[in-house]
């Protein structure tokens, strides 16, 4: 062992790096160092490698995550960057959350993954970490974990899938998944065609190809400053994606000598920048929950009333599906996230720090060419105002979210009769019944699909149009719930009603035939039932079962889960 190196056994642990850091406790520090190096040597590392600072690579590859199937190649590229810079890269797996492979929903396990990331980056010897994720909940979980662990960290994402073709038509998961399924439900295409489409919708590695939750969170991570510039939108299968991975390895190593911790990057100002960009891209409603949870780990509150203020002064600049015509791969060649940020320059806090040491403002100077079909100039936006609004009222005292950029403006100021479904099972059993008493002017209401419910807030807020109405040509209706919606979905859909029904919120009190008023202009959602009647219903509610789960993660979730306006984090993690 070199006498001159930082890792010599008699060095105080507080300033130790690499394998000498965070020792297993045997009551004899020098023995701990000796034993660790013995076992690390068994992995074939040379003395020179054993003495290097370590960049951990926390990755979420899994056979149950199609979006991450190219991670082995990306990990090699990260390692190349770390090694070239002078560090020792060590990969380690964490929980993976494959969006469509988890029951009841991936959100239930986001906090579990965040705990895994936080504890393993803290417990294992690393000086900086690369967080490699992509599929919807993985990036929020990694950023939450990194924010809590507060060791130097750089986010790297899978990148979006590339599009495919079906009978000459361009396809990408998963807005087109829903569009074709709606056509199948309306009997406009047959079983053979939906079977053929199923095999073409997701045909490469990477995350969903549109402005869904994964794309939105990648863009938010870049806007926060947790990723290198222009690294969010590059397709998963593009050679640039591997160059970005290599660069990420170098950047992470650079943070060891010049540490900038997540808590110095994710600040009140950078979170506000991220909200601006979320509004400007017509991003996923889920991102409001995730950004709230990430910021909450650092004591920063995301206020839905502030979201409304920002929404009034932030134009929608990006014309991607599900609201527009383009896909993420188009955004990358159009100029990527820096092109969006440059258009928003006058609205952003430009002095926010990033992982590369540049400020956000300095990154914007590098933008050269922009495809204006995809990223509009601020003077000629897709829409004058932001994509999301928060609604408040006696039905949502702590707020609800509407993605107005994906909704039908003709339904924005409307009063309707409630057609209520008490649970997801009730919805599945009755929505397509010819006997269902429903018209296109009614409001469909789903209860007990919020964070405190057994369903754990699934993406079920996109209630299907009742089959008999779909066949009659109805394409949109007002739909209300305490559930979430996939970022790839669209419609006049009010989500995240808080408090949720399962925790005793007013949504639980709605009955068939009640009148509800939606006013997007007034940001209002009102249940038009006298307060005395609501109080009578409240008193008649059966007491909530305490507790449904006696053991394991389900028990922890049930006891600790917070509501949507607190990011659905666990109480003990904030």
**Which residues contact ligand FES by CB under 6 A?**
67, 99-100, 135-136, 174, 207-208, 212, 214
Q: Is the distance from CB of 265 to CB of 352 less than 8 angstroms?
A: yes
- Pairing between β-strand 396-403 and β-strand 413-421 as defined by DSSP bridges: unpaired
Distance of CA 254 to CAs 130, 154, 419, 503, Å?
12, 11, 57, 46
- Please report how close the Cβ of residue 138 comes to ligand FES at its closest, in angstroms: 8
**Can you give the length of the chain in residues?**
574
C-beta closer to ligand FES: residue 135 or 293: 135
- Please report how close the Cβ of residue 321 comes to ligand FES at its closest, in angstroms: 13
C-beta closer to ligand FES: residue 97 or 529: 97
Q: Is the distance from CB of 514 to CB of 530 less than 8 angstroms?
A: no
Distance of CA 56 to CAs 89, 93, 151, 178, 355, Å?
6, 10, 11, 38, 16
- Please report how close the Cβ of residue 506 comes to ligand FES at its closest, in angstroms: 32
- Distance CA(458)–CA(451), nearest Å, equals 8
List the Cα angle 289/292/298 in 5-degree steps. 150
C-beta closer to ligand FES: residue 226 or 236: 236
- Please report how close the Cβ of residue 435 comes to ligand FES at its closest, in angstroms: 35
Neighbours of 315 (CB within 10 A): 21
C-beta closer to ligand FES: residue 459 or 565: 459
Give every CB contact of residue 466 below 8 A, 6+ residues apart in sequence: 431, 432, 436, 438, 444
Sign of CA dihedral 335, 340, 344, 348: negative
C-beta closer to ligand FES: residue 208 or 507: 208
C-beta closer to ligand FES: residue 270 or 323: 323
Q: Is the distance from CB of 55 to CB of 21 less than 8 angstroms?
A: no
SS3 content of the chain, % helix, strand, coil (to 5): 40, 15, 45
- Please report how close the Cβ of residue 322 comes to ligand FES at its closest, in angstroms: 12
C-beta closer to ligand FES: residue 51 or 99: 99
- Please report how close the Cβ of residue 213 comes to ligand FES at its closest, in angstroms: 7
- Please report how close the Cβ of residue 279 comes to ligand FES at its closest, in angstroms: 21
C-beta closer to ligand FES: residue 419 or 489: 489
- What does the block give as tokens for 243? 């160059």
C-beta closer to ligand FES: residue 220 or 525: 220
Taking phi over 0 as left and psi of -120 to 50 as alpha, with beta for the rest, 294 belongs to alpha
- Please report how close the Cβ of residue 454 comes to ligand FES at its closest, in angstroms: 23
- Pairing between β-strand 164-166 and β-strand 169-171 as defined by DSSP bridges: antiparallel
Q: Is the distance from CB of 178 to CB of 462 less than 8 angstroms?
A: yes
- Please report how close the Cβ of residue 136 comes to ligand FES at its closest, in angstroms: 5
- Please report how close the Cβ of residue 117 comes to ligand FES at its closest, in angstroms: 18
C-beta closer to ligand FES: residue 99 or 343: 99
Q: What is the residue whose two structure tokens read 């188009």?
A: 330
C-beta closer to ligand FES: residue 207 or 267: 207
- Please report how close the Cβ of residue 173 comes to ligand FES at its closest, in angstroms: 6
Burial code (b: 16+ CB inside 10 Å, e: under 16) for 209-247 equals bbbbbbbbbbbbbbbbbbbbbbbbbbbbbbeebbebbbb
Sign of CA dihedral 561, 216, 104, 394: positive
């Amino acid at each position: 062992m070199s006498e001159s190196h930082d890792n010599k056994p008699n060095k105080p642990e507080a300033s130790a790096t690499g394998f000498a850091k965070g020792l297993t406790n045997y009551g004899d520090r020098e023995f701990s160092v000796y034993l660790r190096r013995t076992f690390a040597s068994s992995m074939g590392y040379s003395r020179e490698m054993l003495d290097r600072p370590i960049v951990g690579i926390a990755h979420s590859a899994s056979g149950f995550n199609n979006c991450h199937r190219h991670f082995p190649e990306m990990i090699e590229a990260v390692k190349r960057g770390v090694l070239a810079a002078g560090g020792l890269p060590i990969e380690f797996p964490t929980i993976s959350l494959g969006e469509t492979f988890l029951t009841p929903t991936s959100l239930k396990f986001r906090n579990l993954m965040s705990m895994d990331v936080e504890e393993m980056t803290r417990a294992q010897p690393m000086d900086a970490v690369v967080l490699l994720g992509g599929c919807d909940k993985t990036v929020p979980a990694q950023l939450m974990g990194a924010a809590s662990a507060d060791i130097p960290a750089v986010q790297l994402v899978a990148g979006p899938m590339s599009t495919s073709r079906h009978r000459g038509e361009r396809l990408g998961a998963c807005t087109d998944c829903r569009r074709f399924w709606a056509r199948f439900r309306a009997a406009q295409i047959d079983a053979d065609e939906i079977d053929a489409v199923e095999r073409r919708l997701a045909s490469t590695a990477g995350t969903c190809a549109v402005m869904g939750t994964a794309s939105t969170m990648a863009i938010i991570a870049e806007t926060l400053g947790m990723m290198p510039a222009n690294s969010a939108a590059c397709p998963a299968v593009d050679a640039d994606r591997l160059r970005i991975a290599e660069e990420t390895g170098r950047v992470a190593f650079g943070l060891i000598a010049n540490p900038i911790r997540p808590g110095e990057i994710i600040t009140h100002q950078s979170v506000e920048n991220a909200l601006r960009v979320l509004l400007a891209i017509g991003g996923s409603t889920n991102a409001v929950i995730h950004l709230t949870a990430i910021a909450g780990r650092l004591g920063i509150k995301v206020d839905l009333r502030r979201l409304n203020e920002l929404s009034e002064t932030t134009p929608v600049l990006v014309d991607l599906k599900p609201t527009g015509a383009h896909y993420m791969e188009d955004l990358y060649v159009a100029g990527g996230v820096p092109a969006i940020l440059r258009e928003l320059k006058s609205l952003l806090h430009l002095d926010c720090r990033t992982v590369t040491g540049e400020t956000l403002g300095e990154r914007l100077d590098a933008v050269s060419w922009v495809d204006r079909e995809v990223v509009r100039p601020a003077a000629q936006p897709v829409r004058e105002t932001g994509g999301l609004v928060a609604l408040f009222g006696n039905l949502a005292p702590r707020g609800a979210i509407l993605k107005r950029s994906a909704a039908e403006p003709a339904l924005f100021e409307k009063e309707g009769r409630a057609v209520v479904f008490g649970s997801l099972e009730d919805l599945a059993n009755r929505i397509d019944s010819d006997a269902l008493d429903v018209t296109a002017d009614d409001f469909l209401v789903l209860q007990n699909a919020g964070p405190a419910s057994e369903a754990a807030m699934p993406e079920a807020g996109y209630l299907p149009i009742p089959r008999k109405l779909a066949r009659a040509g109805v394409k949109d209706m007002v739909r209300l719930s305490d559930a979430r919606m996939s970022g790839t979905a669209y419609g006049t859909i009010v989500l995240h009603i808080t408090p949720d029904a399962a925790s005793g919120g007013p949504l639980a009190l709605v009955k068939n035939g009640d009148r509800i008023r939606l006013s997007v202009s007034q940001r209002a959602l009102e249940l038009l039932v006298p307060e005395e009647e609501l109080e009578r219903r409240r008193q008649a509610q059966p007491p909530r079962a305490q507790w449904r789960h006696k053991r394991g993660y389900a028990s922890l979730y049930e006891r600790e889960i917070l509501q949507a306006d607190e990011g659905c984090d666990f109480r003990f993690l904030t």
